Chain A
Amino acid sequence: MTTTQHHHAPITTPEVGGIGHNVRRIEDDRFIQGAGNYLDDIVLPRMLHMVLVRSPLAHATINSIDTSAAEALDGVVAVVTGEMLAGYNLAWMPTLSGDTQAVLATDKVRFQGQEVAAVIATDPYVARDGAELVMVDYEPLDAIVNPMQGLEPDAPIIRDDLEDKADNVAYEWEAGDAGATAEAFATADRVVTIETHYPRSHPSPLETCGVVADVSPVTGQATIYMTSQAPHAHRTVFALVAGLPEHNIRIISPDVGGGFGNKVPVYPGYVVATAASLVLGAPVKWVETRTENLISTGFARDYYMKGELAVTAEGKILGLRVDMVSDQGAFYADAQPTKTRAGLFHIVTGSYDYPAAHVTTKGVYTNKAPGGVAYRCSFRVTEASFLIERLVQNAAYELGMDPAEFRKRNFIQPDQFPYHSPTGFVYDSGDYETALDMAMDMIGYEKLRAEQARARAEGRLMGIGIASFTEVVGAGPSGEYDILGLKMFDSAELRVHPTGKAILKLGVKTQGQGHETTFAQIVAEELGIPATDVKVVHGDTDNTPYGLGTYASRSTPTAGAATSMVSRKLRSKAREIAAHLLEASPEDLEWEVGAFHVRGSPESSVTIQEVAFAAYTNHPPGMEAGLEGVHYYDPPNMTYPFGSYIVVVDLDSGTGEWKVRRMVAVDDCGVRINPMIVDGQIHGGLAEGFAMSNMQWITFDEAGNCIGSNFMDYLVPTAWETPRFELGETVTPSPHHPIGAKGVGESATVGSPAAYVNAVIDALAHIGVRNIDMPVLPDRVWQAIRDHAE
């Protein structure tokens, strides 16, 4: 049983700035003064510059590589090839999903943009000149540019580097119960089907990926500055790949200019630069260009999905069947939990209660860039949420019901939590109808439906689209979730200094989410030390406890919980010290944020700052001095944020263009630590959802040439196109998280694409349109209208 609350008053004062306060971000001071320290800002003495030579072809055998002209160029220090790396056993590396990936190609190139050689020079302009001079002789091969081609029986085997590989299948995985689902379908009145392609996209943070590798030839110490969302995991991967002793590797992830999943994988450039630094004895910098970022690193989505929903004539869902084929590119290189090969895609049953579901998935190698990263999404939850929310809308149409009403008939009810889903998740808490009602109220749903009826009579097209999504985030419980065997707990280390100021060290790493403020607020809440007195340190593996990093909306559910728990550990110790100072027994002390006082005599009290001072100057005999601790938090369950979004669009039947008139987003991410930051996260996600539904995708021609290799072809919306958003909130705390928070960084990217697309389809539903794939481009809309004209 859970309760939905609206804002409750913060328990701390604004000066302390605990949970619920819009503390202005501590990190902003450096950013607004141009004093951020991003990867490319790092300059080390004697630093060299690396540029990668990339394949212009999607699939080809490498006959030879001639580096002599490049080597002869003044300023070029070295040219590295795969053959040279093979000498160090570094030509291939493991990926975060357990595959292998070429660092520099030795035998073949398998996608356009693949890394073939590296030119290292004293100056970045010269390194680029050198890269132009590397001559590679290729023998072109036929390219496979979609997974259906890859599954054809006579398709060439892309991964012939893998022993005995006889097909192009990267993985196969299923969830749910086939038999029970077949039974559900057998008793259904109607089966509603949708087939849709969630197109290839790219997170494209405005800062591209890069590295400055500094390996000391004297001590063997490797200091690797890199754009990393997961510095500790990357350290371990480096130890495994490069065979460097892990204590001699220090990963520093400086200020990161956006990540969104793009900076989770380990990229060949990182490894080559590190190897080059080791051999050359000088720091080596590599920074991608935008084109390199778009053609070679961390694409997202590219799921071909077929969903079938079994329903009764009264509008009850009985079961769901999903078959999904993913285009993985040439290497299965996204970070995936070991036990779930298509991430958390099996959350596809959504916010609805029905007994049976069966999900089959297959990943296919193609001659396209590797990745499949979860772009602002918890391991493929975005694709899942899109599919079910598109399906329920179509089911409502088939049954002649209102899509909101159909959802309400099928929502999991508040008293059903914890809810066991048919694919094996245990939803922690939720109140879906309240969120949908709030969104409908805010947008004026009934009025809009009336307007729509009038508009249709007048021949005007407008549509109303809903998405009532449920996410699964916060990976995760160590029994179920690991990456390459590394359990997905996270950590926090807290030290309170004698003067009552504190330093908090985290295994996660912000890329703009505001950790330096939010996590300080958790300490403020738990200990009463003002948030502005807490320094948050992250992104430096030598100075933070182990953790798996920031992606999949996991920082608040895991490291946020760890921060709470370590603060409480310190509070327990503080109680003992306070008892000593007050000459009372610890049980007789009462805690009110920031101070202990003796029960019944409030004048006899000590502040947390006084206790901190005593911890170093006057601690009880027999007690360890100091006030510090560490906590590794292993979450008992995932968290399940949810929300309801409603979009209204006006559609021009002549051109097929559509405009968002209004977008209302009601989110429930549990307790909100800093509501201002939460809203900001939602704004960003809503914009990215709009981007994917409206304009943003990466395509390839038949030869495997990437169309979408720069910001002129890969369209990222500007302020002019981006809709204006209206936010609402409900608060249903997570029952198992120490402060009831659920995570929010991705909710809006997960939930919103279906809302936008549903709105466009809704504008055309009366003429029989049931699907247009994303991005819903004007020509596609125009064509759909033509196809359905009487």
Chain B
Amino acid sequence: MEITISVNGTDNTVDVEPRMLLVDVLRTRLGLTGTHIGCDTTSCGVCTVLLDGTPVKSCTLFAVQADGRAVKTVEGLKQNGDLHPIQAAFKEAHGLQCGYCTPAMMLVGSVLIEENPDPSEDDIRWAISGNLCRCTGYINIVKAIRLAAETVAASS
């Protein structure tokens, strides 16, 4: 069936089987491979995208459920050609190693600091508790999100 999803601000009309997962449409139909796949049980969170601004696991949604809605992926994080503060912070604070969990972590982090401009360590850890990372022990991910919050606060 034909559906239209706004992805990173652009409408995309695609013809999909009803069983096709959102993550597969993003990756294979739209070529947005920054969204990853890491499990089959909605456990790892590396597939996280923002659906109408809310983090969702795109491996657990059929693409048809996103019909008429707005999706944001890591490819849409940049603002006017500049890195989003969360992207800069992940590099600055060494918040990534293999990079596989990173796009999802940044998206979740970006929503957190919008909703809570001054998050505590516990706030951050709770916010990313649906996202696994196997490399970093989370320490520098927490630091990166905190740094991004501080950067945003300092510039506003």
Interface set of A (CB-CB < 8 Å, partner B): 24-25, 27-38, 40-41, 43, 124-125, 204-208, 255-258, 260, 289-291, 511-514, 676-677, 679-681, 683-688, 710-712, 716, 718-720, 722, 724-725
Contact = CB atoms under 8 A, between A and B. Distances in A.
A34 B34 contact: yes
A700 to B, nearest CB: 19
B99 A680 contact: no
Given A34-B33, A684-B135, A256 B98 contact: yes
B57 interface: no
Contact of A677 (B44, B92, B94, B141): B94
B100 A718 contact: no
A511 B133 CA distance: 14
Interface of B: 17, 19-20, 24, 27-28, 32-41, 43-44, 46, 73-75, 77-78, 83, 87-88, 90-92, 94, 96-103, 106, 121, 124-126, 128-142
B98 A511 contact: yes
A285 to B, nearest CB: 11
Nearest to A748: B137
A511 B135 CA distance: 10
A31 B132 contact: no
Given A206-B101, A257-B100, A725 B139 contact: yes
Given A206-B101, A710-B41, A712-B43, A34 B90 contact: no
A31 B102 contact: yes
A724 B139 contact: yes
A205 B134 contact: yes
Contacts of A718: 128-132, 138
Contact of A32 (B46, B106, B126, B142): B106
B138 A711 contact: no
A205 B136 CA distance: 12
Q: Which 7 A-B pairs rank lowest in CB-CB distance, beginning with the nearest?
A: A34-B34, A512-B98, A31-B99, A257-B100, A687-B137, A711-B43, A683-B137
24 contacts: A24-B91, A27-B99, A30-B99, A33-B75, A33-B83, A36-B34, A38-B33, A40-B27, A40-B33, A40-B37, A206-B100, A206-B134, A257-B99, A290-B39, A512-B98, A512-B135, A681-B97, A683-B138, A684-B137, A718-B138, A719-B129, A720-B126, A722-B137, A725-B139
Query: How would you classify the secondary structure of chain B's contact residues: helix, strand, loop or mixed?
Result: loop
Given A125-B17, A720-B125, A258 B134 contact: yes
Nearest to A203: B134
A204 B46 CA distance: 14
Nearest to A35: B34
Nearest to A511: B98
B46 to A, nearest CB: 6
B96 A28 contact: yes
Contacts of A31: 96, 99, 102
A728 B128 CA distance: 27
Which of B94, B102, B136 has its CB near the most chain A CB atoms (within 10 A)? B94
A256 B99 CA distance: 9
A516 to B, nearest CB: 11
B136 A683 contact: yes
A719 B17 contact: no
A256 B33 CA distance: 14
Given A207-B98, A716-B132, A710 B40 contact: yes
A530 B94 CA distance: 20
A42 to B, nearest CB: 9
B9 to A, nearest CB: 15
A25 B88 CA distance: 12
Contacts of A291: 40
A34 B139 contact: no
Contacts of B130: 718
Given A34-B74, A206-B38, A290-B38, 19 more contacts: A28-B99, A31-B102, A32-B87, A32-B106, A33-B78, A33-B83, A34-B77, A41-B27, A255-B99, A258-B134, A258-B135, A289-B40, A290-B40, A677-B94, A683-B136, A683-B139, A710-B39, A719-B128, A719-B129
A34 B133 contact: no
Contacts of A29: 91
A33 B43 contact: no
B129 A205 contact: no
B134 A711 contact: no
Contact of A41 (B17, B33, B129): B33
Given A290-B40, A712-B41, A719 B97 contact: no
